[in-house]
Chain A
Amino acid sequence: MAKVRKVFAFEFFNLISKKSFILSLILVPLIPSLLFFVLGRLNQDQTQSLTQIFTSEVANPLPIGVVDQSGLVSDYPSWLTRGELIEVVDEAAARAQVEQNQIEGFFLIAPDYLESGKVTFIKPEINMVTEIMQQHTLDNLINYNLMGQDQELYLKYTNPVNFNYNFVNEQTADKRDQESPMTMLVPYLITMLFYMVILIGAAFMINAVGKDKDNKTIEILMTSTNPIELFFGKLLAYGSASLLQLLAWAGAFVLVSKIGGTSLSFMQGFDIPASLFLWAIPFFALGYMIYGSLMAGIGAMAPNIREGNQSSFILMLPLMFVLMNIFQLIDKPNGTFTVFLSLFPLTSPVTMMTRLSIGQVPLWQILLALLLLVLFVILTIRAVANLFSSQTLLSGDKFNMKTFFRTLFVGK
C-alpha cells in the first residue's frame, strides 16, 4: 500500500504540474465563458433570442420582396410575415427597389408555380442562415394563401395536435419545455463533458503505462514495486487528476450557466438538477475505473504509446455508441433503450448522467446501475491484473487484440 501511495503521489503531481494540464483546466471552461460573456454584453439592453443574435445580418434588416407571377399570393398578414416579406408588383420594380436599398432581395414566384413549384430567389449577397429562415417564411405565406387565407385553418395545419399529458409516474414525468433550446443543449453538453473526462482519464492511463515503456523505466520500477502496485498507483493518480478536471469544468459550466442566465434570454430559467452533482462523482469514478483499467491493460501489452493508442479505439466503442444515439436518449430519457444503456456498465456512466441532467431518475435504477458498475469494476480490474505481469510489461511484442482479450478473460 505504501508503494501505491508513492506511485500515486509522483504520477499525480507530475501530471497536474504539467503546463498542458493546467492550460486545459483553464482554457476549456474559459473559452465558452468568454463566448457567453460577450453574448451577455451584446444582449444587455434588449432581450433577443439566440437565433436572432447569430442571424441578424445588419442592425435593421431589410425586407424581402415577393413578385408573384402566379397570382396565388394576395394576402400578406403581418402576424405571419412579421414585416420580413412585402409585395412587389413586378420583377423590374423589385430590381429597382434592391438597387435603391429598399429591399434586401426578392422571390420570383413563377406563373406555373402550381405545376412546377418554381420560385427564384434573387439577392445580391448570400447568407445561408438567413436565407433558410426567409424561405421558411415564404413557404408559410404560400401555404396560408393556398388555404384560402383562413388563419384558423392555417394554424391548425401547422400545429395539428395539442397533446395533453397525464403522467402515470410523476417521478419520471417529462415536464421539459420543448420550446427551450436548453432542453436539448444541457443534456448534450453534460453527456459530452462526461464522455470527454472519462476518455481523457483513460487516455492518461494508456499514456502513463506506455511512457514507462518508452522511457525504459519499467524495468527499474519492477525492481522496486510489483506490477499491481504500479497499476493501482497510476489508476488512482490519473483518476484523481481527471476528477479534478471534471470538478473544474463542471464548476465552470454551472458558473457560465448562472452568468448566461442573467443576461441571455434563452438561458433564463435554466437549472441543472442538484441530484446530478450528487451522483456525478460515483458514476465518473466507476466509469473511469473501467475504461482506465482497460486502457492500462492495452498500455501494458502494447510495445509503445503509439501502438497502444491505435489499438484503444475498439474499447471506446460503447461510449461512442452513446454519443451516436444521444438525441434519441435525450428525446426519450425513460425509454427502454435509454434505461438499458443507463444500466449497462460500459455505457451507464455517461447515459445515467444524460438522464439525470434531464430530470428525475427512479432511485432503484441509479442504485442498480451503481451496483452493476461496482461488480464490473471488480471483474475488470481482476482481468486487467492478468495483463500487468512483468513478462507482459517488459515484452516488446507487437500488440494483438486477440491475445489481449484472451488474456483478459482467460488469463495467461
Chain B
Amino acid sequence: METIIVKNIAKSFGKTEAVKDVSFKVSPGIIFGLLGPNGSGKTTSIRILLDIYQPDRGTVEILGGPMDEGKLNKIGYLPEERGLYQDVEVNRCLTYLATLKGMSKEQIAQRLPVWLERFDLTAHQKKKNKELSKGMQQKAQLIAALIHEPEIIIIDEPFSALDPVNTQLVKDLLIELRNQGKTIVMCTHQMNQVEMLCDRLVLIDHGQVLLEGSLEEVRERFASNQILIQSDNPLPQEIAGVESIVKEGLHYRLTPSGNLTAHDLLRELVRQGINLNTFQVAVPSLDEIFIQVVKEGRNDHEQND
C-alpha cells in the first residue's frame, strides 16, 4: 500500500498557477526524488502534501486517507528554508519542536541526547542556534525533522551546507531509515545524490509532471546506443559501422549506425588492433536527462502558450 498518493493537485495564487496538475505515488521503504528546476512547483506541492495549503483541485492521501493531526505527527519535514529560533539554545529549540510533534518530556530526554551525539552536536547543545555554523544548523534541523521517528520524511536539500563527512553521515542515515521501511521524499538539485539514493523519482516543471518512474526505467528511457572508449592509440578516421567519432577529453564517443550492437563494435575494434583501456555503453547522467526533459517541457509549454 502506498503511503502517499497525490492525485491531480492544482494550486493558484492570484493569477499565478503554481501547480497545474501533479500526481505521484510513494511506497514505504523507498527514497523518492521530487525533482524540478527552481520555481517548478515543488515547494507548493510539498506544502499541499503537508496540508499547509489546501489544493484548488485534486486530492492527497497520506497513510491511507486524508491528513489529520495524528498523521501530521508522523511526518518529519526539513524545509528548503531552514527554520530554527536563532536566539534560542539548540537544546531548548529542539525540545520545543519535538513537543509540538507530540513527544513527551521523557521521550525527548531519552532520544535527544542520542541524536545530538550522532550528529556530533552534544558539545554545542547549550549554544544559541545563531552561534552554530551553517552545517551544524543543518544537522540540528535534521534532528528536528527526525527526532519523533516519523513514518514519512520529507526533506528538501538535505545535503546543503554539509561537508563531505557529514554528507556521508546523512546519506547513511537516509539509507538506514529507508531500510527501516520509512517513506522518504527528497528534493534536491544534486543529481549525483539522486542517482545514488533514489529508488523512484518524479520530475516536475511549470506545475506539471514531466517524468516519473524508477531510476532504471528513466535511464533506459533515455539510454542511447552510443559507446564511450578510452584508448592509448589514436583512433582511425573511420571504423566500419560507426557513424561518428567525437573526442571528449580522454574519451571517444562513438555512434554506431544501423543495427550494430555494442558487442559487434567491440569485436571490430579488437579486430583492428585498437588497444582499449575502457569500453562502456554511454548511459546518460541524470543531470543530462534533467536538462533534456526540462528543455523539451519548456518548448512544449511555449508552443502551447
A residues apposed to B, CB below 8 Å: 3, 6-7, 10, 14, 211, 215-225, 390-391, 394
Contact = CB atoms under 8 A, between A and B. Distances in A.
B100 A3 contact: yes
B39 interface: no
Nearest to A218: B83
A390 B88 CA distance: 24
Interface in B72-88: 72-73, 75, 77, 79, 81-86, 88
Best-surrounded residue of A221, A224, A225 (most CB of chain B within 10 A): A224
B279 interface: no
B81 A6 contact: no
Best-surrounded residue of B50, B77, B99, B101 (most CB of chain A within 10 A): B99
Given A6-B99, A216-B79, A224-B100, A390 B53 contact: yes
Interface residues of B, number: 24
B47 interface: yes
A62 B77 CA distance: 80
B83 A223 contact: no
B100 A222 contact: no
B83 A215 contact: yes
B52 A217 contact: no
A6 B96 contact: yes
B183 to A, nearest CB: 15
A219 B84 contact: no
Interface string B47-60: 10010110000000
20 contacts: A6-B100, A10-B96, A10-B99, A14-B85, A215-B84, A215-B85, A215-B86, A216-B79, A217-B83, A217-B85, A219-B52, A220-B97, A223-B50, A223-B72, A224-B97, A225-B100, A390-B47, A390-B52, A394-B47, A394-B52
Given A6-B96, A14-B88, A216-B82, A224 B53 contact: no
Contact of A216 (B81, B88, B92, B96): B81
A223 B77 contact: yes
B138 to A, nearest CB: 13
Contacts of B72: 223-224
Given A390-B53, A391-B53, A219 B97 contact: no
Contacts of A217: 83-85
A5 to B, nearest CB: 10
B144 interface: yes
A261 B75 CA distance: 63
Determine chain B's interface SS by DSSP, over half rule: loop
Interface of B: 13, 47, 50, 52-53, 72-73, 75, 77, 79, 81-86, 88, 92, 96-97, 99-101, 144
Contacts of B50: 222-223
Nearest to B96: A10
A357 B53 CA distance: 50
A220 B79 contact: yes
B150 to A, nearest CB: 10
Contacts of A391: 13, 53
Contacts of A6: 96, 99-100
A224 B101 contact: yes
A9 to B, nearest CB: 8
Nearest to A395: B13
B114 to A, nearest CB: 21
Nearest to A18: B87
Contacts of B84: 215, 217
Nearest to A230: B100
B97 to A, nearest CB: 6
A389 to B, nearest CB: 9
A391 B43 CA distance: 13
A3 B69 CA distance: 11
A211 B85 CA distance: 8
Contacts of A223: 50, 52, 72, 75, 77
B155 to A, nearest CB: 12
B119 to A, nearest CB: 17
Given A6-B96, A211-B85, A219-B81, 7 more contacts: A14-B85, A215-B83, A215-B84, A216-B83, A217-B84, A390-B52, A394-B47
A219 B83 CA distance: 8
Contacts of B52: 219, 222-223, 390, 394
Nearest to A226: B69
Nearest to A3: B100
B77 A220 contact: yes
Nearest to B101: A224
A221 B79 CA distance: 11
A71 B88 CA distance: 79
B53 to A, nearest CB: 6
Contacts of A211: 85
Contacts of B101: 224
B197 to A, nearest CB: 23
A12 B214 CA distance: 49
A104 to B, nearest CB: 57
B87 to A, nearest CB: 8
A160 to B, nearest CB: 64
A338 B150 CA distance: 59
B88 to A, nearest CB: 6
A394 B72 CA distance: 18
A140 B35 CA distance: 90
Contacts of B92: 14
A3 B79 CA distance: 21
Nearest to B95: A10
B131 to A, nearest CB: 14
